[in-house]
Structure 1
Amino acid sequence: MISRIKVGISDYKVSGSPDVLMTLGLGSCVGIAVYDPKTRIGGLSHIMLPDSTPFSNRDLKPEKFADLAIPLMVSKITNGKFNIGLIAKIAGGASMFNFSELNMCSNIGERNVLAVKEKLKEMGIPIIASHTGGNIGRTMVVNLDTFEINIMTANREITKL
């Protein structure tokens, strides 16, 4: 029986074939799908911010940040073992707002995409497909049987990754 598992903002979920993971509302946020083709276990993370280091609060929600969420999700996919053979696909990182001056929120979508790419590279996980940038929201649906991903944009276009 196929389960459709929803991933909320600042969250991640891990499951296996034949389940489907999905997240809605990827604007400046980035969806990161990481998959192990051998076990057909994968995860989907919906991050909001690139980096947790500017924040001092000890009660941070790690799933909100690219630098913390990705390693947590990968550890769960691999049961804490070395992550050789994992692959990734990403979507989101749109420029949803116009800011007249530079501040912490400017270019957040672009900064999120860069942080995700850097963290995956650091972990040795190649990005095999992406659908990022622009100025429109996305929904990301991940098939854990095939690792095919459907990206649905707010203007109703569907792209397969």
Structure 2
Amino acid sequence: MISEKLIKVAMADLNIASNGEVLKTTGLGSCVGLTLFDPAKRIAGMAHVMLPSSSIARETPLNVAKYADTAIPELIERMVALGASIRAMQAKMAGGAQMFTLPGQTDSLRIGPRNVESCLMKLEQYNIPLLSQDTGGNFGRTIEFSSNDGILTIRSVQHGIKEI
């Protein structure tokens, strides 16, 4: 995907794009790259979610982009401030892998699947439909999201390139 302007989204970060800009994040293992898109306004947003819930946060001040339950509302708020409509928003996501499996593993170590579940619950609260996802597995991903057409490009060493 070639664009005049590439906006990088770091781990535990979020950003918005418009006017054909492309959002990109790398290193999605158990993290989830959640994207939102208003097709009428061509406003896109991306959050690189590391953990499912801010209830476990110990940092001060709180990094709202780090947690699914705080990143998604913040992303929506920023997109609305730029002119997007919540009712028009559509979501896509990638990541949420189970990178390591250990014998006797507890639910607390299932970070990838829990990140996916938390993102889905938050989208449901806002009535934002999830159009497609490429989640799970045991491999990392890099994603790019176009504010021009809402196409999410997913790259992985194991599975090549695909668009959703």
* TM-score normalised by structure 1 residue count: 0.93
1:143 aligns with 146
Alpha-carbon distance between aligned partners in 1 of 2:77 and 2:159, rounded to the nearest angstrom: 34
Aligned residues: 161
1:13 aligns with 15
Determine whether 1:33 maps to 2:35. Answer: yes
**% of aligned pairs identical?**
35
Q: Deviations over 1:53-74 (max 9, x none)?
A: 1335542211100000010011
2:127 aligns with 124
Matches within 5 A, 1:1-161: 2-55=4-57, 57-79=59-81, 83-103=86-106, 105-155=108-158, 157-161=160-164
Q: Deviations over 1:115-147 (max 9, x none)?
A: 001101111110001000000000011111011
* TM-score normalised by structure 2 residue count: 0.91
Alpha-carbon distance between aligned partners in 1 of 2:91 and 2:57, rounded to the nearest angstrom: 27
How far did residue 98 of structure 1 move? 1.7
Alpha-carbon distance between aligned partners in 2 of 1:103 and 1:59, rounded to the nearest angstrom: 29
Q: Deviations over 1:84-134 (max 9, x none)?
A: 110010000000012333457511100000000110111111000100000
| RMSD, matched Cα | 1.8
Unaligned runs of 5+ in 2: none
Q: Is the 8 A contact 1:99 1:106 kept in 2?
A: no
Q: Deviations over 1:38-65 (max 9, x none)?
A: 1101111101000011335542211100
Task: Give structure 1 regions of 4+ aligned residues with deviation exceeding 6 angstroms.
Answer: none
Q: Is the 8 A contact 2:38 2:85 kept in 1?
A: no
Alpha-carbon distance between aligned partners in 1 of 2:110 and 2:145, rounded to the nearest angstrom: 26
